[in-house]
Every structure is written in structure tokens, then in C-alpha cells.
Structure 1
Amino acid sequence: MQKETVPLVVLGGGGHTQEIIYIMKIGPYFSNITLIHGSCDSLSKSLFLQEISPKKHTSYSMPRPNNVLEKYSVLQMICSLFSAIMIILRSKSDFLICNGPGISVPVALAYRLLHPGRPIFYIESMTRVKTLSAAGKIIQYIASVFIVQSKELSRNTYPCRRFHSIFKILPV
């Protein structure tokens, strides 16, 4: 019997959660999913589980490394990184998928540190067409696959950066 593949999915607030739900819907179905979300963000977890409906899931909450529209604080980042390490040591995931919330930075760093051979998939938000997000600027160096939504961003030379229009804007 083949072992089931378990993704570790990072949930951020608002639009990031909607984008990751869309990404998970267009990809293959996973019956078992591990989730990480901010400790003050249970709504994202509820929305994700309602939309994706995995048969089994494990979820972890951790402190955010930054507050919305604020820069990263060194102390907050260290606390978040330590928390991410503890979570990843407990999780049984085969790969990481994230899409840009600040919380994905410590998770991706910890994942690369603890599982250097496992893939990290990062999909930059569709709203980023000229510059990368703060999270994207860091994660592009450790991601196995780094997908951007604009051709302008894909012209930069970092090797794992790829253009792929995942999100389609449909007329109303």
C-alpha cells in the first residue's frame, strides 16, 4: 500500500486564505492535510476546512512574526521561528505549500532547515505584479518552486522563479 502524501499548508489572513483555497482546489485532492495558521486567526482554518473538506487534518497555531502592514520584528521572528521548528518536528508532512502571508517566512525557514530534501512550493499573490512581497523576497532563495503571477516578476534571474497564471480574473 502506498503512503499517502501529506502537504503542510500555511494559512494567512483574508486574501491569502482565499488564494490558498483556490490553489488547493485546482490541484490534486489530499485526504490528509496539515495546517499552520496564526494564533489569532481561527477564521482562516474554518474557511479552509469548509471549502477543502479533507478526510483528516491536523492543525497548529503559532504566533505571527509581524502584524498586518508592519515590518518584521526580530524578537517576534525568533519566537515564530522557534514555534515553527516545534510544529514541523511534530508534523508528518511531505512538502510545504504557502502563498505569501508573513507567517510563511519562519515556517519556510524552519522547514528548509529540518527537511532540506523536501520541496517547498511558494505561490506569490496575484496582487504582486511589479515587486515581490516581503515574504517572497526571503522565500525565493529557499523555495523549490517559486511561482509568480506576472511576467515582469518572472524576468528576474533567480533560477526557481517561474511565471504561471494560476489565478484567472473573470469578467463579472
Structure 2
Amino acid sequence: MARLTMLLEILLFFFAVVIGCNYYATRLFSHGKCSTMLVLGSGNLFISAVLLSILGGHTAELLSYVRLLPQSYTPRIYVSASTDSLSGKKAIELESKDKKNDVCRYLIEELPRAREIGQSFFSSFFTTSCALISAVVLVLKHQPQLVLCNGPGTCVPVCFAARLFHIICNIGSCMSFGSGERRRRTAVVFVESVCRTRSLSLSGRLLYHLRLAKVIVQWPGLLENYPRAQYLGLLS
């Protein structure tokens, strides 16, 4: 009897989360704006100083995409690793240059790293779990319609949480009357770094094989090994 009661409580909690997420998502999505979450970061791999100076790293690449976004892609939520002290500042500098900053609202959020450079795989299990839980909380807090990222390991927990939120919202829509008109999508887009000409990064491979994001590549040769990816030419 106790187990049955516990099971019913879990089901009731799940349904409450589903309906709540669907309700707040419907309110958020009804204002003609596209809440956008952007995952910043320099990644976990060192590249040559010359290449870094030319390309500027993952954060510089992602911010170059942000400059092309219409004003309707607001509010913008920038997410960086808690140990990354530079990426958030770069985002603030970009937004400060926007003369329409009163219209384009933005926020800076931090997320624990899933794995630090040189960290053992055993200890990374705990840090990854912490990062995943934090990402779920962050996504539920802001409920983005678009998640855009391009390489750092921080993006994997965020993309997973965004897909989970998307599924929950769709379940909630199916449980609601007249759900056909209220159904919404949370798009997750991963743009592989321009540095990757022959293979995807570790983050890219995880998102591609787990189907957590739409993967966009900047070199046509990558389509041979990753046919589900989309090639749009050089974007950086």
C-alpha cells in the first residue's frame, strides 16, 4: 500500500510539472518574442595561439552569430561556465554596444562545468550530474524557445535539458483540451566550430548521435561521416 501511495504521488508530481511547464511556456510564447539561450565558452581543447587570435574561440564565433539575430530574438540568456570569467564580459560588451538595449533585454547565467581539463572520468561523473541538474533548473527558469551553441562542453547538459523541456511541454499540450493550437517547439541548434573540418568535436558527436540538437557544419566534407548534419557554408 505504501508503494502504491508513493507511486501515485510521483505521478501527480509529474503531471503537475507537465501542466505547469505547458502553462508558463504558453504564456511566454504568446508575445511574439523568441526567448533565446546562448551557450558561451572557450571549450576544453587548446588550439594554436595563431588560430585563436584569428578566430577568437567559441565565444567569439557565437557572438558573431548573435549580431545577425533579429530584435525579436529576446530576451537573450547567455550561459557560461562558472570558471569562465571572460565569456560573460564579452557578451556584456556586445549588448552594451546595442543602441536598442532597452528593447533587447539580456541576462548572464553561470553553469558548473561538466568536466574540467585533466579531470578523471570517475570524478567527472559527479560534476556532470551537478551540471545536468543545474541545466535543468536553468532551462525551466527561462524556458527558451531557441538554444544556440557551438562547441563548449557546457552546452551538452543545456541541450539535454532543453530537449527534456520540449518533451514535457508537448506532453502537457497533448493532455490539454485544444492542444493542437497551443503546441510549441523548443529548437536546439548546434553550430560546429569553423575549426572542425574533418570531424565533429566531442560535444558535436554527443549531440549528433543522441539527436539532442540540429547540428550545422561549416565544411561540406563533414557530411560524409555525419549525413544528418546540415551544411550552410561558412558562418563565422
Normalised by the length of structure 1, the TM-score is: 0.86
CA deviation vs aligned residue, 1:15-61 (integer Å, no higher than 9, x gap): 11000011111332334211211112232111112124453112221
Which residue does the alignment assign to 1:6? 35
Distance 1:18 1:114, change over 3 A: same
Q: Distance in 1 between matches of 2:191 and 2:118?
A: 20
Cα distance, 1:5 vs structure 2: 1.2
| 1:1-172 equivalences in 2 (<5 Å) | 2-13=31-42, 15-29=57-71, 30-52=73-95, 53=98, 54=101, 55-68=104-117, 73-116=124-167, 117-140=185-208, 141-159=210-228, 161-167=229-235
Percent identity of equivalent pairs: 27
1:158 Cα shift? 4.1
> Which whole-Å CA distance do the structure 2 matches of 1:40 and 1:157 have between them?
32
- 2:78–2:91 contact (8 Å) kept in structure 1: no
Letter in 2 for 1:112: R
Answer 1 or 2: which has greater strand percent: 1
| Structure 1, unaligned runs of 5 or more | none
Question: 1:84-128 CA deviation, whole Å, 9 max, x = no partner?
Answer: 011111113211000010000111111111223311011000111
RMSD: 2.2
Q: Secondary structure at the match of 1:36?
A: strand
TM-score, with structure 2 as normaliser: 0.64
Where does structure 2 lack aligned partners over 5 or more consecutive residues?
A: 1-29, 43-55, 168-184
Residues in 2 aligned to 1:115 and 1:76: alpha-carbon distance in whole angstroms = 24
Shift of 1:132: 0.7
Structure with greater proportional helix content:
2
Moved more, 129-138 or 5-14: 5-14
**Residues 93, 120 of structure 1: CA spacing in aligned structure 2 closer, same or farther, 3 A cutoff?**
same
Change (3 A) 1:76 1:5: same
Larger mean Cα displacement after TM superposition, 8-17 or 48-57: 48-57
Counterpart of 1:42, as a letter, is S
Matched AA of 1:38: A
Count residues in correspondence.
167
2:178 matched residue in structure 1: none
| 1:92–1:167 Cα change, 3 Å | same
